[in-house]
Amino acid sequence: MRHAMPKPTPKRATAKASATPDAAAEREPRGARRKRETRARLLEAALRLMAHKGMEGVAINEITEAADVGFGSFYNHFESKEAIYAALMDQVFEDFGDALDLLVRDVADVAEVVAICVRHTVLRARREPVWGQFLIREGFSARVLERGLGQRLLRDIQRGITAKRFSGKDPLMSFIAVGGTVLASISAELQFGSAQGPQAAVLKALGHSGEGLADRAAGAILRALGLEPKEADAIARRPLPVVEAGA
């Protein structure tokens, strides 16, 4: 009697599927890959410089030197210093704002939406201090209302006031108060967030702690918007949804 042989597991198909991203990267023409990498280096260098000196204080040759890119190559990617600055603003304000919108798309309570966005913003600044420094610098400029994070915060405050979730009748002043708290919290996170840093030791000597600044900032903001302290603190400490890598 002949027995049917078991069918082999399709390992080859699985391996092929898992290798697809690498294969796609290998198929990218060398010139296109170099162009993409050069553009990324220019943006990274511009972010570092403009985070500390602002757009007006940075020259194109400083960006190309920091990126180790030829001066003329800059214009293969950006037509001006203003153009690379606009690309940075899209990265910092628009792309991150889009990621946050996606993160809270199923959250019905506008108070929790604000708390999640505030906490993720402060936590990202901790992970990426240069990003946080750029956000602080530009967050105090009038341009913030033209970009994603500022527009979204103002929108959510207006939603909360309309739904009577937040108290107050002036969304703009609430936005100014909340935005100032977020930026000040980022600044505090950059200075006091590390328990090993010398600034944290100074804070400890004064009887305070820099731990949990993201949650504490969210709680303070919700209290300022009119929530009872107990509820505000509870919302500010709920488990956070996971944000996509790089957002």
- CATH code, 62: 1.10.10.60
**Whether 125 contacts 132, CB under 8 Å:** yes
Residue 146 has pLDDT above 50, yes or no: yes
Q: Which residues of 220-247 are buried (b: 16+ CB within 10 A; e: fewer)?
A: bbbbbbbbeeeebbebbeeeeeebeeee
Question: What is the pLDDT, as a whole number, of residue 24?
Answer: 53
DSSP state of 93: I
List pLDDT tens digits, range 98-108.
889 999 999 99
Question: What is the pLDDT, as a whole number, of residue 10?
Answer: 42
Residue 146 sits in the same domain as residue 115: yes
Residue 63 sits in the same domain as residue 178: no
- Domain membership of residue 13 (yes or no) is no
Question: What is the pLDDT, as a whole number, of residue 11?
Answer: 40
Q: What is the pTM of this model?
A: 0.77
Residue 208 sits in the same domain as residue 157: yes
Range of the domain at 177: 88-236
Residue 93 sits in the same domain as residue 188: yes
DSSP state of 104: T
Question: What is the pLDDT, as a whole number, of residue 50?
Answer: 94
Question: What is the pLDDT, as a whole number, of residue 42?
Answer: 95
- Domain membership of residue 246 (yes or no) is no
Q: Directed axis angle between helix 60-67 and helix 30-53, to 10°?
A: 120
The residue among 181, 123, 186 whose CA lies nearest residue 157 is: 181
Q: Give the largest CA-CA distance in the chain.
A: 87
**Whether 174 contacts 182, CB under 8 Å:** no
Residue 176 sits in the same domain as residue 222: yes
List pLDDT tens digits, range 32-51.
788 889 999 999 999 999 99
Residue 231 sits in the same domain as residue 188: yes
Structural domain tally of the chain? Answer: 2
Residue 177 sits in the same domain as residue 101: yes
Question: What is the pLDDT, as a whole number, of residue 203?
Answer: 65
d(CA 224, CA 173): 12
Among the listed ranges 18-22, 175-179, 190-194, which one has the minimum average pLDDT value? 18-22
- Domain membership of residue 231 (yes or no) is yes
CATH code for the domain of 145: 1.10.357.10
List pLDDT tens digits, range 94-142.
888 888 999 999 999 999 999 999 999 999 999 999 999 998 888 777 6
List pLDDT tens digits, range 58-94.
999 999 999 999 998 899 999 999 999 999 888 877 8
- Domain membership of residue 155 (yes or no) is yes
Which two tokens mark 184? 């000040």
Residue 44 sits in the same domain as residue 159: no
List pLDDT tens digits, range 14-37.
334 444 445 555 676 776 788 889
d(CA 68, CA 188): 32
Question: What is the pLDDT, as a whole number, of residue 8?
Answer: 46
Question: What is the pLDDT, as a whole number, of residue 35?
Answer: 85
In which residue are the tokens 């108070």 written? Answer: 111
Residue 176 has pLDDT above 80, yes or no: yes
- Domain membership of residue 101 (yes or no) is yes
Residue 181 sits in the same domain as residue 198: yes
Residue 104 sits in the same domain as residue 220: yes
Q: SS3 of 88, please? A: helix
Residue 104 sits in the same domain as residue 223: yes
Residue 7 has pLDDT above 50, yes or no: no
- Domain membership of residue 148 (yes or no) is yes
